[in-house]
Structure 1
Amino acid sequence: MLCLALWALHLLARHVTYHEIRHYVEGVSRQRLVLAIALTTLGFGVMSLYDRFGLAAIGKSLPWRRVTLISFISYAFSNAVGMSLLVSGSIRYRFYLQNGLSTTEIAKLVLYCTLSFWLGLLALTGVTLLIVPLPSGLPMSDWRITIASVMTAIPLAWILGGFIRHPLTLWRWQVRLPKPMTAVRQVAVGALDWWLAAAVMYVLMPDRLNAGFGHFLAIFVIAQIAGLISHVPGGLGVFEAVMLAGFGASGNEHLAASILGSLAMFRIVYYLMPLCAATVLVLQRETHNLRRHLWPPWFSGLLPPFFAGLTLVSGAVLLFSGATKALPDRMAILRSVLPLSVLEVSHLLASVIGMLLLILARGLQRRLDAAYWVTLILLVAGAVFSLLKGIDYEEAIFLGVLALALMPAHRLFYRRASLFSTHFSPGWIVAILAVFGCAAWLVFFSYKHVEYSNSLWWEFSFHQGGAPRALRALVAAAAAGLLFALASLIRPQDPRRAPPSGAELERAWPLIRRYRSAQGHLALMGDKHLLFAPGDRAFLMYDIEGRSWVSLGDPVGEDDDARRELVWSFMEQCERAGGWPVFYQVSPADLDLYLEIGLTLLKIGEEARVPLAAFNLDGKSKKTLRGTLNRLGREGLRLEVVPASAVTPLLPRLEAISDAWLAAKRTREKRFSLGAFDPRYLVRTSMALVWQGERLLAFANLFLTETK
């Protein structure tokens, strides 16, 4: 979709030059810019109503400042990145989970906000299209009334559905529609949000547009819908192409240049500036927490993906800068103080660093220590080369500020894994290719007036060297990406997974004995694979069922860093093998381990626990238990606990009891999380035996640790 959008944009703006667009951007008046910023601020204030009304709808209440902050950060990132449901939903999930909301409540809130977002867009689009005719050049102009009627009917039906008192049944689920006033608020807030977004861009549009706000609004909402449906990050290219087509700018290069300039300003004001503001807010919180030596789990978990996103943006900035023309007055200054060779090398290296930052962003998301240090070095180097290649102080400041913000966050990047072992998901690969594709398009767009020849590759000049420098930088960046991909492909493969050997079980035994949970004893069954942390500081046990890699319980070990690294290593193994990581029967104390890697919590069943230290048979509620115990005593039954060393002679009798029990229950050994009769497993555990005279009636193996 991105390639098609860029191709369409290229056709629509084939007569427009980069200089014309830049000239319009630099000529936007201060009054218009201030008004656009004010409308953007008001728009994000309206967006916070999504969350405030959503919390009220699910019966929850949080301080309005906290809700506004969460809403602003989530929408600042989702608007800039795209995929609003995924991005804003994941940010809300992390924030609201730490503010006392359950997984179900957060899911309801995200659904409420998403529905409000789309219902408002459909309502505004439908009403606008019913009133305002579309230009005949648009494909949907002939179907305007039909499309508008359908779009208007959907939010109207949603509001009227609130009068239905009983829940609706959809397949196996029952859905209770919101009350009419709740639905009206959803539609109204969503429509106002989109109206303000359109107003921001309208004040930035050129005077020669000669279009009223209603006509502009119709084309704006259609372009936004096209961008959202395309799933291209931020609707980049798709939104611009529809706007150009809607205003008939294809044959008018001056109008097309003005519209593209206003679109660039709109993205700066409505997308980039809120993203930078959200960045400042998060960094301010980071600095505050560092002074207090306090890192809340939710905030520590948010920062690495946050820095990864900013690093990705930094790489894109360097690539885009290397693909466009430098300002003539700045080049004149460089020509008087720098040799040409320094300029050429700086331009080349800046683009290479841009590509490497795109790759390193994934390592930061994975919390790799090596990625942290290399990123820090490259950000500083990128800032220096930005100044040397064109006095691009704007980029240098951005990269420098990010480097300064990253410096105190070293503790968050604790993993000692190799950069080349990082798995790149399809989404990450597409993101990197999309950024590089946009940079390539910018090269051809910026220098469309330069006729290609082989001699361009060997042309070095202050005056006419822009196109050759951009081409060489683009190829160098591509080469850097390909070399990294090749190095990753030839890395050693994961060893073949096999049942644990006796030696591996011996390595696990000391960890099992010292761990706070006795569940680690199930590793001794030998039916699960074992994954050890470096230095045998921790291990986890898992089995594979189809595409699901199921880890039983939490990592076993006392070293928290090793346990955290194991969770990451396990997930990366799953990704390399195309599997789905699943952690089964985890403890509440370790939930941050799994939220950190982006997993979703799902509560399955319940577990009964008896506090043995305070347990007794006193009181009326224990009457039945006392009666059972007394009856068994009269029948001559007694309980004996024997150590593991005394289990081997009893194995034949224990096996007979186990087989008889399985036959009576008409079942088989469950294994995995429930255990099984395996002599190698049973001889390592103490045993509780029930005797009647000399006859052994029942047994249960006991999981004992040094503390339990």
Structure 2
Amino acid sequence: MLQSVKNFFTKYGQYIRTIFLISVVVIVVRELLSLSKTVNVSELKTHLSDLSIGQFLLLAIVGLITVVPMFGYDVILNKHRDVPLKPLAFLQNSWIINTFNNLIGFGGIISTGLRLELFGEEKERTKFLKIISVIIFFTTAGLSVLSVVTLIMMLLNLQPAIMNHYWIWVIGGSLYFPVLLVITRGKKARLWSSLKQTEIFWLLGTSVLEWLGVLSFFAFVGYTLGISYQLADLFPILITSFILGILSMIPGGIGSFDLFMIIGLQSLGISREEALTWLFLYRLFYFIIPFLIGLLLFAKNLASRINKKWRGIPGILWRKFSSFFLISALYFSGILLVLTSAIPDAFISNDWLKRLDIFSFHLISSAPGILIGFLLLVAGRATIARVKKAYWPTLVVIAFSTVFTVLDDFSLFTTCFFLALLVIVFLSKGYYSRSRMHYSWEAFTIDGAIYFSLIILYLIIGIQYVPTKHHLHLPRAFVDFYLFPNEKAWFTSFLLILAVGLLIFWIFRYMSKGTSQLLEKIDPKRVHKILNDFGGNETSHLAFTKDKYIYYYQDSKGEDVAFLLFQTCSNKYIVMGEPSGDQAYFSNLIQSFLDDCETEGVQPLFYEVKESFVMYLHEFGYDFIKMGEEGYVDLKNFSLKGKKNRGTRSIMNHFSEDLITFEVLMPPFSDELFLKLDAISNNWLNGRPEKGFSVGFFDKEYLSQAPIAVVKDREGDIIAFANIMPSYTPESISVDLMRHRLDAPNGTMDFLFVSLFEYFQEQGYSSFNLGMAPFSNVGHSEQSFWEERLGYFLYEFGNNFYSFKGLRQYKEKYVASWIPKYTVYSKKSFFFYNMLQLLIVVGKNKNEKIS
């Protein structure tokens, strides 16, 4: 029979545990609904308003401390595990068990099931069931010991007169422990054999401390309320009430305990109203608040189990819902709180504003209201940014909002609303995962619009509610309102808002402090090794300009195998081109980079990438826009023959007749050569600043990394040059800087290009990259994205500030194929800001190097 039962539980144990946990949730909901029916909101408001904030917090803290002795029961249970729970997990599980048992014990059924679920081990459930059974028996042993003390007081005639009618219950309670002691010492006490003698005494001591703690807390509540009583009179009444409450089997003894306590307290000369207040505060701080904390912990534990079972999908859905609700609620409540605190009269006298004020947010004064309102807005922004530093402050701000609302103008809806926010924040600790906040332009725009709108609404509503005596003289009313309306109330509030603004600025500065782990400077040796071992692409060589940061990816052996280049602007990490190195690791590199950016709280933006790379990033939820096309010369089939190239042939022949020559110089280069090239570069720039990021600039270290092509006149003086830009592949090559003296002959650059084509054709390269033609073939269709239609507009009509068409036409003389290039950006970002930040980085002066 026992084997059949064991097999049944082995087979269906998982389902039984699931049903049990669901049953607990159902019972909790039912008990909370039943409890809510017994709460009179108006009386509750009156009771709480009699307490100061200090008394409220003190009662809450002492009530929580009173729960701690009950942990002793679970200390024994934890010792019998093969692997004891860690302290934090132990405290969490024990709190859940004991606070649930306090409120909805059902004779120990709930605590038995929860202890078996939270402390029991799969292979030792029978052993744990025995130990839990012993614990259940000993939870009331301490009450029995205190009943013996009560009985002694009655024998010595020290009890109140009312106790003469209840001696039988005290005797029954007193007999419980002696009977339990006899059973545990009996020869057939198999149930107790699982525990040592010292553990039995530990349980007894725990039980005595638990009941002494409850008694002390009840007495402390009466003392806090200022009620006069004698502890010797209260003690026997309270012990008898506990016994009656347990015998009733009603969760928490609600009803039976309360009835006898009211009768007993009235017999001591305490009024019914005082007794009810006393009982209410005792239940609130000993039962309800600890239970609500336990409920949070239980929900977190249950959610973790469900999330694990369903492969993390519930967690993803929860994070999306909770973050959206939390952020919306923080912003909404913050805005209303600021307005209703700064201009409460407007929300009282106007119906449409009164409908907005659903929270009754009239706190102690306007100063705390405005402060907490703005802090809620800050908490909303920090929650969006998911900053670790914001987790506890957010909980504190919401908690203070709840306390202020409860104490000053209690609203059940408001209280439940803030408690719901507390629950969501508490369960979302993992959501606050970032080390610091990046206050993006998008965030600044949204918050700036909110703060600005608050000020405008404040002014408009304030003007509307200027005292009637000013309405006949609008200019005077306007002046009076801005300076000293309602005895300077408005002006005082305005100064308060300015002070709060400085506080917000400091908070954002604090949350933004820290350094990124991704901003690694370029090490030329590491870059050379990757490019020489695995190859690169058309942008790889830009690493040697050192005006960007680099992100390395390493294989399982810790060897560098790939990298990408990027620069920062606000919260954007703008990546130049595609990854370089071993293509087999590119997907791992991008995934790692995106994960690190997510952890850092920044948004990547990829500039000048190919279509295949766009589709890969699109899978991660990124949007894109075509930025133009990149031209490639087919070196295998390049020739100056034919009518099309007649003009180019003429230039080449003319330069040859003038003894103008082409030469490729190999590094290392002399200082004398750099002086000549620098003079040409400065002459070509003609006072314009050099750009960086997507192009190179004149720098000795950068130019020393690859060959330099030069054009010399008949005297041997250099009149033009271009530095070679290798792609570190045998197929393609390009150049970066292309500069000539302003007095160089017309056609010098054509001569330089054609000479380069012929030179690299002889070297065996198959293509020559001539670079981008911005906005070329972008947004031609009326059905194109509006962003690309804007690019088309710039291409067609922007020649006044940049020759888009001319550049395309010039390159088409040589280009055989065009490859589209795109910019890829997060859908969460603003397109306009993306383009503006991209322009800032691309147009950055070369002197603005990384420090």
TM-score strictly above 0.5:
no
**Scaled by the length of structure 1, what TM-score is found?**
0.37
Task: Compare the two structures and name the one with the higher strand fraction.
Answer: 2
Relative to the length of structure 2, the TM-score reads 0.32
Q: Which has the higher contact order (CA 8 A, sep 6+)?
A: 1
